[in-house]
Every structure is written in C-alpha cells, then in structure tokens.
Amino acid sequence: MWSGRFREPLDRTFEQWQRSFPVDWRLLPHEVAASSAHARMIAAAGVLTSEELEKTLQGLIAVGQRPDNWAHRISATSGEPEYATSTQQIGAAIVASAPQAEDIHHYVELELTREIGSLALKLHTGRSRNEQIATDMRLFVRESIDATLFGLEQWIAALLSLAESAGDSVMPSYTHLQRAEPVLVAHWMLAYVSMAERDHSRLVDARIRVNLCPLGSGAVAGATLALDRHIAAEALNFDAPTPNSMDATSDRDFAIEFAQALSMLGLHISRFAEELTLYSTAEFGFLDLPERFSTGSSAMPQKKNPDLTELIRGKCGRLTGTVVALSTIMKGLPLAYNKDLQEGQEPVFDAADTIAGVLSVLPSFTRSLKFRFDKMAGAAETGYLNAMAAATYLTHKGVPFRKAHEIIGNVVRFALEHDKELHALRLDELQMFAPEFSLDFHDAISLRATIDCHDVMGGTATARVKQSLTEAQSRAKARDLTRHHSVSEVVNA
Ligand code: ARG
C-alpha cells in the first residue's frame, strides 16, 4: 500500500503488531459505503467514467457481502444454522482470509482488486486513509447513537408503564439513605425518566456534530483534486462536509462525546440498578426479582441473586473507562493525524457493544419488575415520615417554620419515647408542645395528605405526578412519531 519509498522490509513482529485489521474489520460496511461515496465524487471530477464508476460500485457491493459469504461457509462446514454464526466467528474468518491486510482500508482495496482488477487502484485517487478512518468512525458512532436512542426509548417506555401501573402507591424516599418523606412510586420511576430523557437529548445533540463528512479532507491539507465534497456527504446521509481538513482528519471529539454521553447514561442506569439491588434485599423487601433475570448460588441453595443489576453496575464502570481511555489518547496529540488515533477504535467499539448489551436486557427486565406495594406503603407509614407535613401544618397556623421545626422535633422525641407514631398521639399530648394543634391535625398528617401537600410543579402530590406522567407519555409518543417519520424518509429516499 505504501512500500514504494522503502528498501528494507519491515520487521515481521512490528508489522503484525501495528495492524488494526483484527479490530477494525467490523468497519467494513462503513468503509464500503464511504468508498462508494468517494467513487461517486471522483467520477464527478472526471477520474472515473460512468462505466468505471458502475463497475467500482458493483465491486464494492460484492466486497461488502464478504461477511454473509463467510457466515454461509462457516455454517456449511459446521452444520450450525447460518444465524447462529457469531460476529466473532465471521470476524476471525475474514481476518484470517486476508493476512496481508494492514487495516480495513487496505482490505477493501485488496478485495476490490480481486473483484474488478486494476480499476480498483483508481479508487484511492484524491484520498487518504486519514480521512477514511475519520469517516468510518463517524458512520460507526452515528449508527451506534441511533441504536442507543432506540434502546433508550424502550427503557423509557418500560419505566412509564411501571409508573402508570403503580397508580397512587407510596413508598419512602430517602436522603442519606435514611427515610425522608413519602413519595409516590410513580414519582420515583419518573425521576429515572427525567434522567433518561436528558441522556436521550445528549445523544441527539452529539449526533448533530457527528453527522459531518470528512471525505475530501485528504491526508491533512485537503484533497489534491477539485472534488465536490457535497456529493460524498449526501451519499452518506451526512448533513454537510466538515469545514477544516486538519481538524477533520485528526480530532475524535465526536467519539469522546459519544462515550461521555454513554458514560452518563450508564451512570444513571447504574443508580437504578443499585436501588433495585438494595430494595430487593430481605431488609427492604420492596420487590421480588424476576426469576428469569436472576441467578442462583452454587453453594447456598436458598439464594436468588441480582446478577443482572450487579452486572449493569459493573458495565457502567467500563463505559466511564472508555471516556478516560479516549481522552488520554487524544490529550497532547499534535495536529493532525497520528497513529495513536488507531488505538481509539477498540474503546469506541467496546462502549457501543457494552451499551447495546445493557439495553438488550434492561427494558424487558424493567417491565417485569413486581413491586411489593404493601411493604413500600408500610415503610412509608412508619418512622415519622410525616414530620415535615406536621411542621407545615403548624406554619399554616401561623407558627414560623423554624419554631414549628423545633416543636415537631420535640413531639417526635416524645413519640419515640412512648413508642408511637405521630398520628397515634392524642390532641392533649400534642397541645403540651403547642396550643396551635387542633382537631384537623391528624388529617393533615395522613399518608395521603403528606403526599399531597407537595403540591408544586415537580413535587410528589398525586395530581402533579399524574400530570407529569401524562406529559412524559406524550413526549415519548412524539419521539416515536419522529422515529417513524425519519424511518419512512429513509425508506422513501
Ligand atoms: N488504520 C489507521 C487508523 O486506524 C488508518 C489511518 C492510517 N493512516 C496513516 N497515515 N498511517 O488510524
């Protein structure tokens, strides 16, 4: 591919070690698409005739079908059905089939030469692998963003259906992991919907910056042919060509942003996983883990372990690791392309695979959760979770809040000493602490009243939560419509 200026053969070990084909073979569909777009662009510049272009495009289609051919061959020799052929098996076969290929770009060129002969050698006119890898990675990240958005929407739908079926069930909320105030179970679920919606918008936003086409940037300074870069950008469904060739060939901020968005998403999912792990313990008993998503212990026969949620917590660490790896690779790289960038591929693939794995189980797991609403309500009714509502009651009677806080603190102390909840105290007992207590006090601190006194936007009052749920459901529907719209646009295009 580049041996012309060399007189000495490469060190064998070094030569093997510097290859990226064992990793980047999975960019094949993107490399084929980008090469086809480049072919159209150089044809328009007069480098290929229309017959040559046609032949090149057909050849590239054939090269793009190599994985299918390998799946077919593997299943024919193993007797396993074709769909059972794993991506790893196919990758290993492709990599083994092309021992000379240094990377995916080299592989496609070699295979294209096998398909269409020396015409293939014209394809590299006016381009560089530096712009190719930047383009392939953008295509890969864009595809993974779309898949993640879809999975995330499924998870949001699952959370919304849990929120809906929870109705007006209550549970304790916690601060410092100590019981704080009662909230609706739906309110808790909607907290995760809020997080997931921000993750969604972060990915949608990152996609805007990913969706620009480096083709035509050349090795660093721009192509040496007068190419119409819009041709390639349009062929690949990019919004526009990238504006600067040095930047386009050497920055990977789009990949880092993608990893950051996934890391944040992973972080939210991990908090959810941690809460479920905790709430499924005998100590909390707020939910029974679905058996089909749990595992047993080989030692202790009674165990049902939350492996799914634990593994999800672990995967989140891995996603954050990607951000650190990519940022560390990029940091301090002089402009423009440096081979260090090749090292960034693996973490990006790993993050994409990790989130795809998590989102392949999370929505159905979430849907199958069964809460023990009785236990949750029981926990919300004990432990003085209505103390804040009690203090608020006094403020409605004109007592300044600081004072009310102190009075209720003393009442709680008294109740603790007598092993009673606040609502079990008699009016005469209460009035020892403040004359403002009267007959309406017990209604004001009932579980329902304690919930409903949080009647602010974003609060847990029943009507507010109902409203929030409806709004979240219509946002989900709107996202669904956009998706159908964009899918039909692609189909009709
Ligand atoms: N395999 C290389 C990578 O992933 C492709 C670009 C190679 N460019 C170069 N100048 N060596 O980064």
Q: Are residues 139 and 82 in the same domain?
A: no
For residue 462, tell me if it sits in a domain: no
Q: How many domains does the chain have?
A: 3
Q: Are residues 227 and 285 in the same domain?
A: yes
Domain containing residue 401: CATH number = 1.10.40.30
Domain that includes residue 424, residue range? 387-445
Q: How far apart are CA 52 and CA 477, in angstroms?
A: 47
- 126 contacts: CB under 8 Å, gap ≥ 6: 38, 42, 45, 47, 216, 218, 223, 224, 225, 227
Residues within a 6 A CB radius of ligand 1: 20, 103, 129-130, 133, 337, 339, 341-342
Share of the chain above pLDDT 90, in %: 88
Q: Are residues 430 and 484 in the same domain?
A: no
Of the residues 96, 124, 152, the one at which a domain ends: 124
* CA nearest to 115, candidates 180, 157, 55, 68: 55
Residue 414's pLDDT band, with cuts at 50, 70 and 90, is very high
Residue 20: φ, ψ to 5°: -115, 0
Q: Are residues 59 and 86 in the same domain?
A: yes
Of the residues 99, 124, 149, the one at which a domain ends: 124
pLDDT confidence of residue 24: 97
Query: Over the stretch 60-71, which tens digit does the pLDDT of each residue have?
Result: 999 999 999 999
For residue 327, tell me if it sits in a domain: yes
Residue 296: φ, ψ to 5°: -95, 180
Query: Over the stretch 443-468, which tens digit does the pLDDT of each residue have?
Result: 999 999 999 999 999 999 999 999 99
Query: How far away, in angstroms, is 448 Cα from ligand 1 center?
Result: 64
Does position 261 have pLDDT exceeding 70, yes or no? Answer: yes
β-pair partners for 295? 305
Q: Active-site residue 297, yes or no?
A: yes
Place of tokens 């929407």: 153
β-pair partners for 300? none
Give, using CA atoms, the residue closest to atom 10 of ligand 1: 130
Q: How far apart are CA 15 and CA 13, in angstroms?
A: 5
- Identity at 420, one-letter amino acid code: K
Q: Answer yes or no: are the C-beta atoms of 40 and 235 closer than 8 Å.
A: yes
* Catalytically annotated residue among 50, 118, 176, 485: 176
Of the residues 80, 102, 124, the one at which a domain ends: 124
pLDDT confidence of residue 489: 63
For residue 450, tell me if it sits in a domain: no
* Catalytically annotated residue among 86, 297, 438, 486: 297
pLDDT confidence of residue 269: 98
Q: Which atom of ligand 1 is the closest one to the Cα of 103?
A: 1
Number of H helices, E strands in the chain: 21, 6
For residue 240, tell me if it sits in a domain: yes
CB atoms inside a 10 Å sphere around CB 135? 32
Strand-pair category, 170-175 with 287-288? unpaired
Q: pTM for this one?
A: 0.94
Q: Are residues 221 and 366 in the same domain?
A: yes
* CA nearest to 28, candidates 86, 76, 87: 87
Give, using CA atoms, the residue closest to atom 11 of ligand 1: 339
Element (H, E) at 182: strand 178-184
Place of tokens 């907290």: 191
Q: Which atom of ligand 1 is the closest one to the Cα of 128?
A: 8
DSSP, residue by residue, 20-50? -HHHHGGGHHHHHHHHHHHHHHHHHTTSS-H
Q: How far apart are CA 169 and CA 188, in angstroms?
A: 11
Q: Which atom of ligand 1 is the closest one to the Cα of 219?
A: 10
Residue 5's pLDDT band, with cuts at 50, 70 and 90, is confident
Q: Answer yes or no: are the C-beta atoms of 252 and 261 closer than 8 Å.
A: no
Q: Is the peptide bond before 493 cis (omega within 30 degrees of 0)?
A: no
